[in-house]
Amino acid sequence: MTSTLMQERGMESDIEADAPAHRAGRSGAALGIAACAVLAGLAFIGALALGPVSITPARVLAILGDAFSVPAEEIGRAARERMVVLDIRLPRAVLGALTGAGTAMAGAVMQGVFRNPLADPGLVGVAPGAALAAVAWIVLGAPLIEMLPAGWQSLGLPLAAFLGSLLTTLLIARLAMRGGTMSVATLLFAGLALGALASAGTGLLVFISSEQQSREFVFWTLGSLGGATWSKVALVAPFVAVLLAIGPLLARGLDALALGEAEAFHVGVPVERLKRIAILAVAAGVGASVAAAGVIGFVGLVVPHLVRMSLGPGHRVLLPASALLGVAVLLGADILARLIAAPAELPLGVVTALVGAPFFLWLLLRRRVIG
């Protein structure tokens, strides 16, 4: 009896000793997420303020505060600044925020599903399928463009790219199913095979395209927020919102999945349903982002690593922090794309690759990913 009481008291003392550390961990995670949110907010204001026409942050906030009111008659510089912020830069910044958040969270989810820090949303065929459908629309879609209403003609390319990415992902997921079970290894190899096939089809269509069509496709593949409109924002927002809503709900399952599929199943995680939901949510969110902004690499690969190095691997923190940091990184890259060669504009995908590739190589050399 005495020994039992001593064991219980020992356990109580251990719990009391661990409680401050647990609270400190939760406090650190909250501070990390808050820091990512601050960075995202600063990047968003910077995206509205910086460009060929510089506007002070205070003026940007004043314009946003009056955005839904009927302003007094403005002339000269004030009117131009209001038009630049609300009509040009705001839809671009919102589209960039959606793209960055969705791509970064998708990368974190895919790394959890594949249990591999090198995993990327492109593994499920999003980018190759979108590229094939996009070039098919550019080269072969002229008769269809004329059939669309005037307001929908500019959305033909992003809609085609989105459908291409979604259909490719669904086909890859179907090939990976065996007896009601989705094999992650088969999913990976099917993604690589169909991605190569889609790339071959893309190359063939580029070969038969005109010079103007080829230039249009190449510009799209390099990625850009330059053509952002509220119509494109409306196209992307619902799908990215689904991904951002579903992602945190998968956190517990992804944490368990890190131990292995069998172990996750034994602790009550519906592994197959988790994989299907994750892959479809990633395909929808990233497919819509790629469709509207083109192919923007390394955000979904690098941002989760930055968060994991700073805040740890737990997905309850990793997923929301990745989304917020993805906003900051992508909008920061867009600011650089507009300023480096002003008044010209560098392709956004080039900027993210120039920054992301050296960082990723540094990670590999530091043996924080493999080895």
CA distances from 104 to 30, 59, 96, 130, 139 (A): 19, 30, 12, 18, 31
User: Which mean pLDDT values do the consecutive 10-residue runs of the chain (371 residues) have?
Assistant: 45 42 63 93 94 87 76 66 88 95 93 83 79 85 64 70 85 81 81 88 88 83 86 90 93 90 87 89 87 86 90 92 96 92 84 85 66 50
Report whether the peptide linkage leading into residue 343 is cis, meaning its omega lies within 30 degrees of zero: yes
Tokens 């941002």 locate to 303
Alpha helices by DSSP H, listed for the chain, are: 2-49, 57-65, 76-83, 90-114, 126-140, 142-147, 156-175, 184-208, 211-222, 230-249, 251-257, 261-266, 271-293, 299-311, 315-339, 348-365
Spatial distance between the Cα atoms of 166 and 100, rounded to a whole number of angstroms: 19
Question: For residue 177, what is the enclosing H or E element?
Answer: strand 177-178
What pTM, to 2 d.p., does this model score? 0.84
The CATH superfamily label for domain 42-365 reads ABC transporter involved in vitamin B12 uptake, BtuC (1.10.3470.10)
**Positive or negative: CA dihedral 275, 305, 310, 289:** negative
Residue spans of the domains in the chain: they are: 42-365
Spatial distance between the Cα atoms of 221 and 293, rounded to a whole number of angstroms: 9
Spatial distance between the Cα atoms of 209 and 136, rounded to a whole number of angstroms: 10
CA angle 280, 240, 193 (to 5 degrees): 40
What b/e string do you get for 186-218 counting C-beta neighbours within 10 Å, with b at 16 or more? bbbebbeebbeebeebbeebbeebeeebbebbe
Count Cβ atoms within 10 A of the Cβ of residue 102 and give its class: 0-12 exposed, 13-18 middle, 19 or more buried. Answer: buried
What is the gyration radius of the CA atoms in the chain, in angstroms? 23
Spatial distance between the Cα atoms of 371 and 366, rounded to a whole number of angstroms: 9
CB contact at 8 A, 358 and 327: no
- Which residues, at least 6 apart from 103, have a Cβ–Cβ distance to it below 8 Å? 121, 285, 286, 289, 296, 299, 300, 303, 326, 330
